[in-house]
């Protein structure tokens, strides 16, 4: 058996973690990054890029680079019209089947694109285990997190992505509950906790009761299309408006991404400071770039409506849990967007207590997933997560009305039963339409699947008694079984998912992905070379900026040594603009060699300073 990991497959960034001696740890890449940008890009020669490399290509190849694909998981073309307008990549004209995104000459479904991100994390973890000297370093199983408010189709799409990446998905767990596992670890805590999770693209609120190591979710609510992306979009709109006023009417895809990058940077800056610059780098069609100041007050006025949208779900979850805000004993913040001060203030005002965020809000979900993975494979029983289904499950009945079978916030696994009979003599099949949602009418709920119940023994109308069992498993995913009670005959059920992929689709995609494996391998080598090169560049630039550097150079350098370093640095940076792996690797070696002496000198001085400091204090 290989290794198991926990994966947070995020809208903006993804992470992988595992448990070492009972403690969950995030696995970092060679340059020390925990976050893998959930971005996939393809070059003209069909080379795929994932993560930082793909992120760079947002600016240079925006139409061939896909980000925020999580927002499109388990959805249909008609659902995404509004969002499609904001992204530079395009959608393949579908005929009602699974949604596909154009990526170079490929048209890929969101699960296939997510699988690239998952494969990258799998590889990262395998490298980590290999370097740690593990004999069996293959990662073959994972727990993957999803927003609590994800519906059945979105969960199934996530599980498909895992399968496509060559992972057995042990469990799909909800992000806020996953975070609570990481928080509750090792503590003998009990009490009522609210987890407020505002990520890149999704918002969740979960209310939990923790006692005896059982983490029981009382209620959950949320919005699967509300997050940091929407904040960025408001800032982008503000810049676009200003540019329009300045006479720039249409933006090139490259300029659009430059604008988006500026928006994100300003958002980050405004979490730390009272004012910031919206600063767009020059791009094709925007040679001068753009610059405008924005204050935190202006920013907050802009995003207030978004923050307010999170409060309704919070109140609903409290009502469903039968609690008042004051009953909540602890509030935990999860997700990068909870760094925004206005968000923190809104949460504090609603619950009347200071929320805490002792753990890194970016990492805590992955840590919890690793804990759950460990529970599953080790059989540890000290902790148990009891989650709920976020949405009611129902069947279409006469007149387009939904009859509820399993109510929202039911603890999972949960089951519901419904009796059917036949309407005409010798009828052998019954059709069913399963929906998810809280509204009364079919047209207002989410269609999950249509089922045809076959093989009913011929008998007079109304005599057959068919019991259909709807089973939601611990992943929050539905399965359906049926039995004719008179004869005891199990009925076969044909499933036609409304948005997802059929098992045959997934199988075919697995075959296709093996065919791409070689091209993927080359791409990976390039990415690793670049990452290595970048960490050397960063380290060198840091040394050159040290305040004591001029003194070091004057006292310790050979003639021409500084020039040699600077040349090697400039050449490596030039190579990084291209995609020639061998040149990058060679120049990395050259720079490494050129800076070896410098590194030793700096290290010696640091050690000396530390030792002399110690001597002085000892005297």
Partner 1 sequence: MTPEPTKAPTLIQCHSCGAGAPLREHFCPQCTNILQLSRHGDYFTYFGLPRRLSIDPADLEQRFRDLSRKFHPDFFYNGPAPDKLASLERSSYLNDAYRVLRSPAARAEYLLALEGLSPLKMEAGATGNVKVPAALLEEVFSLNEELDEIREARESGTPREQVVARLDAARTPIARKQDEHERLVEALSARWDADQSRTTLEALRECLLERTYLRNLLATIDREAATLATA
Residues from 302 through 361 that contact partner 1 (CB under 8 A): none
Please tell me whether residue 381 binds partner 1 under the rule CB under 8 A.
yes
- In angstroms, give the least distance from the CB of 375 to partner 1: 6
Beta-ladder partners of 24: 19
Q: Do residues 37 and 13 make contact, with C-beta atoms less than 8 angstroms apart?
A: yes
Percent helix, percent strand, percent coil in the chain, to nearest 5:
45, 25, 30
Binding mask 154-173 for partner 1 (x = CB under 8 A): ----------------xx--
The values of phi and psi at residue 204, to 5°, are: -135, 145
- Whole-angstrom Cα distance, residue 7 to residue 373? 10
Give the residue, chosen from 97, 211, 582, 600, that forms a contact with partner 1 under the rule CB under 8 A. Answer: 211
Q: Which of 470, 499 has the CB closer to partner 1?
A: 470
Please tell me whether residue 218 binds partner 1 under the rule CB under 8 A.
no
Please provide the distance, in angstroms rounded to a whole number, between the alpha carbons at the two ends of the chain. Answer: 58
3-class SS of residue 12: coil
Give the residue, chosen from 379, 488, 560, 578, that forms a contact with partner 1 under the rule CB under 8 A. Answer: 379
3-class SS of residue 544: helix
Please tell me whether residue 210 binds partner 1 under the rule CB under 8 A.
no
Q: Is 197 a catalytic residue?
A: yes
| Number of amino acids touching partner 1 (CB under 8 A) | 24
Stretch that binds partner 1, among 98-106, 153-161, 371-379, 546-554 (CB under 8 A): 371-379
Stretch that binds partner 1, among 340-348, 380-388, 516-524, 574-582 (CB under 8 A): 380-388
Q: Which of 308, 309, 301 is nearest to 238 (CA)?
A: 301
Please tell me whether residue 542 binds partner 1 under the rule CB under 8 A.
no
Please tell me whether residue 411 binds partner 1 under the rule CB under 8 A.
yes
Please identify which residue in the block is written with the tokens 């009305």.
401
Q: Is 431 a catalytic residue?
A: no
Please tell me whether residue 536 binds partner 1 under the rule CB under 8 A.
no
Q: Do residues 291 and 260 make contact, with C-beta atoms less than 8 angstroms apart?
A: no
Beta-ladder partners of 430: 453
Give the residue, chosen from 376, 459, 495, 539, that forms a contact with partner 1 under the rule CB under 8 A. Answer: 376
Give the residue, chosen from 79, 473, 528, 548, that forms a contact with partner 1 under the rule CB under 8 A. Answer: 473
DSSP state of 173: E
Q: Do residues 100 and 94 make contact, with C-beta atoms less than 8 angstroms apart?
A: yes
Q: Which of 399, 560 has the CB closer to partner 1?
A: 399
Q: Residue 113: CB partners within 8 Å, gap ≥ 6?
A: 40, 66, 69, 101, 103
The values of phi and psi at residue 497, to 5°, are: -65, 140
Give the residue, chosen from 185, 320, 413, 498, that forms a contact with partner 1 under the rule CB under 8 A. Answer: 413
- Whole-angstrom Cα distance, residue 274 to residue 297? 8
Q: Which of 237, 284, 298 is nearest to 262 (CA)?
A: 237
Please tell me whether residue 212 binds partner 1 under the rule CB under 8 A.
yes
- Whole-angstrom Cα distance, residue 296 to residue 274? 5
Please tell me whether residue 142 binds partner 1 under the rule CB under 8 A.
no
- In angstroms, give the least distance from the CB of 443 to partner 1: 24
Q: Is 209 a catalytic residue?
A: no
Q: Which of 83, 418 has the CB closer to partner 1?
A: 418
Q: Which of 20, 381, 18, 409 is nearest to 213 (CA)?
A: 381
- In angstroms, give the least distance from the CB of 121 to partner 1: 22
Q: Which of 22, 352 has the CB closer to partner 1?
A: 22
Please identify which residue in the block is written with the tokens 């971005």.
39
Q: Is 33 a catalytic residue?
A: no
- Single out the catalytic residue among 70, 122, 261, 267: 70
Please tell me whether residue 410 binds partner 1 under the rule CB under 8 A.
yes
List residues with catalytic annotation.
8, 70, 175, 197
Q: Which residues bind partner 1 (CB under 8 A)?
A: 170-171, 211-212, 214, 216, 375-377, 379, 381, 384-386, 410-415, 417, 471, 473-474
């Amino acid at each position: 058996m290989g290794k198991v990991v926990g994966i947070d497959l995020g809208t903006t960034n993804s992470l992988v973690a595992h448990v070492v001696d009972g403690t969950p740890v995030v696995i970092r890449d060679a340059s020390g990054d925990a976050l893998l940008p959930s971005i996939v890009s393809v070059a003209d020669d069909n080379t795929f890029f994932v993560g930082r490399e793909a992120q760079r290509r947002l600016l240079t190849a925006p139409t061939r680079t896909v980000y925020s694909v999580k927002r499109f998981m388990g959805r249909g073309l008609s659902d995404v019209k509004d969002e499609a307008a904001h992204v530079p990549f395009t959608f393949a004209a579908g005929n009602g089947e699974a949604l596909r995104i154009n990526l170079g000459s490929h048209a890929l479904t969101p699960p296939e694109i997510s699988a690239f991100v998952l494969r990258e994390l799998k590889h990262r973890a395998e490298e980590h285990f290999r370097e740690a000297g593990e004999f069996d370093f293959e990662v073959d199983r994972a727990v993957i997190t999803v927003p609590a408010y994800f519906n059945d189709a979105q969960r199934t799409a996530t599980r498909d992505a895992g399968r496509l990446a060559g992972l057995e998905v042990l469990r799909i767990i909800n992000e806020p509950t996953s975070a609570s596992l990481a928080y509750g670890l090792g503590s003998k805590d009990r009490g009522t906790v609210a987890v407020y999770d505002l990520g890149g693209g999704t918002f969740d609120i979960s209310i939990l009761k923790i006692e005896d190591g059982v983490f029981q979710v009382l209620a959950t609510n949320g919005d699967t299309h509300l997050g940091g992306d929407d904040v960025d979009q408001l800032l982008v709109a503000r810049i676009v408006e200003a540019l329009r006023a300045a006479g720039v009417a249409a933006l090139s895809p490259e300029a659009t991404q430059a604008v988006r990058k500026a928006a994100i940077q300003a958002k980050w800056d405004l979490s730390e400071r009272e004012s910031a610059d919206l600063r767009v780098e020059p791009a094709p069609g925007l040679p001068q770039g753009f610059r405008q100041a924005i204050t935190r007050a202006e920013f907050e006025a802009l995003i207030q409506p978004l923050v307010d949208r999170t409060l309704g779900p919070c109140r609903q979850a409290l009502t469903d849990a039968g609690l008042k805000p004051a009953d909540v004993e602890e509030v935990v913040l999860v997700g990068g967007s909870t760094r925004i001060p206005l968000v923190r203030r809104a949460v504090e005002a609603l619950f009347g207590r200071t929320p805490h965020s002792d753990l890194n809000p970016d990492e805590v979900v992955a840590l919890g997933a690793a804990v759950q993975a460990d529970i599953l494979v080790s059989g540890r029983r000290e902790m148990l997560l009891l989650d709920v289904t976020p949405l009611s499950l129902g069947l279409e009945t006469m007149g387009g009305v939904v009859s509820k079978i399993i109510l929202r916030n039911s603890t999972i696994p949960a089951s519901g039963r419904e009796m059917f009979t036949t309407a005409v003599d010798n009828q052998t099949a019954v059709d069913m339409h399963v929906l998810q949602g809280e509204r009364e009418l079919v047209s207002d709920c989410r269609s999950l699947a249509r089922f045809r119940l076959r093989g009913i023994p011929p008998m007079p109308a109304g005599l057959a008694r068919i019991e259909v069992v709807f089973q939601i498993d611990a992943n929050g995913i539905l399965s359906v079984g049926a039995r004719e009670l008179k004869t005891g005959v199990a009925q076969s059920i044909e499933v036609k998912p409304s948005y997802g992929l059929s098992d045959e689709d997934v199988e075919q995609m697995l075959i296709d992905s093996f065919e791409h494996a070689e091209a993927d391998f080359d791409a990976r080598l390039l990415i690793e070379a670049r990452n290595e090169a970048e960490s050397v560049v960063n380290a060198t630039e840091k040394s050159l900026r040290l305040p004591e550097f001029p003194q070091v150079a004057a006292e310790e350098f050979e003639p021409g040594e500084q020039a040699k370093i600077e040349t090697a640095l400039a050449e490596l940076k030039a190579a990084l603009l291209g995609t020639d792996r061998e040149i990058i690797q060679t120049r990395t070696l050259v720079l490494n060699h050129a800076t070896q002496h410098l590194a030793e000198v700096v290290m010696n001085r640091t050690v000396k300073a530390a030792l002399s400091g110690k001597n002085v204090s000892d005297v």
